[in-house]
Structure 1
Amino acid sequence: MFKFRGLVAVVSLGLIGGCASSQPPMTAEQQAMAQEMQKAFIARMQAGTQNRAARQEPAPAPVNLMSEQELGDKIAALKGEAEPVEIRRVRDGLMIGGKPHLDPEGEITGVAADTLSGDIVYALKSGRNELIFKYLSSTSNGDPVTLGRATRDSSGVSFTSVTGKKLAGDNIIGSSRGVLVTRSSSVFHYVPGQSVDTLMVPENYHVAPSQKGDFGSTGYLLIEKNEETKEGLKGLTNLVGSLGETVGLSEADGYMLLNAETGKLVKLDISTDDKDVSVGRDCKRQNDFVNKCSSFDSYESLYAPDGSRNRGHYFWRVDWMQTPEGPFAVVQESGSRKINVINLDEDKRVTVLERTLGIAEHNVTQTPGGTVRIEAQLGFSKKVVDDALQAYKDGMTTLATAN
């Protein structure tokens, strides 16, 4: 290519000489100078091409990913010799043994923990559509270990571990041992250093988007019944049935706890309609206590429009955890009338608190030793069950004696 350009330069010089016929022919010295200029011109062109090539961005260096074994070893090294302590979720962070744990990289938005082992996996918000998942142990003072990142777009959620493993689905939830990526009828459980476990959800059910219990230590996952289309007479029948379920006059089957290993199902008496809140449109004040609205919009929410808990939502009503006696659940059932303690592996329950007019709300905590404590608001009074497992045993003894 450069020889061709050189030829063009020579021809051009010749044409210039030909056109300027009044000019005398070049001397040998002038011809030598023209050739030198031609060589210099070609050299400059070659140098420019080489410089442009040198300025091109170098190819990105390959990313050195951590192996699953290395990640598993880092997590194992983080676990200390200290006894487990109380783990409690608070605004923007955690309380571990009474001490706050905040993450400088972002706000902690979700936590899964096993109080008995001290294993904690939390999610923190690092961008508008990105979460970082980290492992932490309550038995040591070591820095948390990053497990991976999850991003959300219009197609769903994509999780990429620091080892390069990728999982895609509709939602992502932490477990005390790793992360769960869920689809409508299936679940993928990623645990560092292990192969990905899969789980299928029974027909007509899907994975509940919000999980308050820990799958990693108990092996149980909350699933939710698919909503039916309510039209015509069938819709009216469903509406009446849902109302009965909400107030506890009929038994609901909106939610179940599914054991991933055995496929065992524990049915919960909670209606899917209880999770919604309503907001009025075009409301006009009638008096100090009544507003008249033209219509209402209903939607699912963990919180009421005033910022308080939506007490009917299943998230606030179903707790499950690992205990020294095996996996147990504390569930508000029969509308809002009962607080039941359930032995999940045996599918047996005992009512430990009951109020005909309903229990306003309750909170469940677990000590490092595994004791489960329930505190509930019954009207204007507060009731406490200091040891839910002992209350369960006492209730089972009473039932056995009665029979």
Structure 2
Amino acid sequence: MTGLLAAGATVVATLLVPTTAAGAAPITVAQAIGQQNGSSATVRGYVVGQPTAATTVVRSNFPSDYALALADTPDQTNSSQMIYVQITSSFRSAWGLRTNPGLLGARIDVTGPLTAYFSHPGLTSPTAFASAGTAPTTTSTTATLPPTSTTGAPGGDYDPTYYRDAIGKSGSSLKTVLHQIIRTNTKLSYDQVWNALKVTDEDPGNAANVVLLYSGRSQSKSTNGGNADDWNREHVWAKSHGDFGTATGPGTDLHHLRPEDVSVNANRGNKDFDLGGSVAAEAPGNYTDGDSWEPRNAVKGDVARMLFYMAVRYEGGDGFANLELNNNVGNGTAPYMGRQSVLLQWHAQDPPDAFEKRRNQVIYDAYQHNRNPFIDHPEWAPSIWN
């Protein structure tokens, strides 16, 4: 640990100081695993990787700055002996593994509530991070931190301005404020969506193609249309759920419109989202039955966050129905989409990746000039719907 931190900068760490566990002795990871009751504690452990699913922890090529795993020994590889730590926005530049891969193997203290994360023993909504040995205190202190980067997740630059009124809020109050922030946006026509999707969903490995949401296929931008094997405009929040059709507004909102194969789009239809079913034709990794659709693992979180956005953006104004999540499937034409509990699981297991963040940024910069807050701040979804 000493070697890892020696190269870091010495900074004033006022924001990283615990305020809820002042004077509390750190507990071990094993103790934290056995104490998942929502109480606040300072956990001391070694950074052993980044969790990407309930039983999966990666130790290289870290996909984001949103989570890390701690263990009582630096060489631990058994996920059952780890605690998963959520990294909220204010800590990501200093403690996220994508930005700071040199943290792997470091011994640190993290303070926060002991609650499940990724359906696994965890610590969420942390109030402090510190190198091990930094005593908790309620006053400013100087600590040696790992090198930081000025490059954060898209949206980080907007926290003081774009999301200013939402910072510090939770639950229904947070939902209300986010609605006010994102409801002011430029609206596209349904025809304009065609060209927009060619930009928002461009294949990063082939600029002539788009990536189809469910099937994952990279396909020529020019093959959009209504014929077999063309791609068309998939409404992730099915347009019959609230009966908004293709009207300018929810029917043309890029934050939930994605390119998809015509046949796969028809197969998904207006089904809600849930686990299970039979393998979907032409869409490996997707499953479906009479009233639900399960997308492939790589976009489960994307789907959840698009639906979270819709449930906040469309609250009954602008002449459209009040869209809401519920825990049902088979919602038909009612303005509801489910299954909420499953969507929250998908959101946790599949954090925003580079493709999704870029897409959010392009929509903001070039088209609608509003953002999906659950890509910028994943911690806000459980705050609202849990």
Structure with greater helix share of residues: 2
Structure with greater strand share of residues: 1
Instruction: Give the structure-2-normalised TM-score.
Output: 0.25
| Bigger relative CO (Cα 8 Å, ≥ 6 apart) | 2
Mark the structure with the bigger radius of gyration: 1
Instruction: Give the structure-1-normalised TM-score.
Output: 0.24
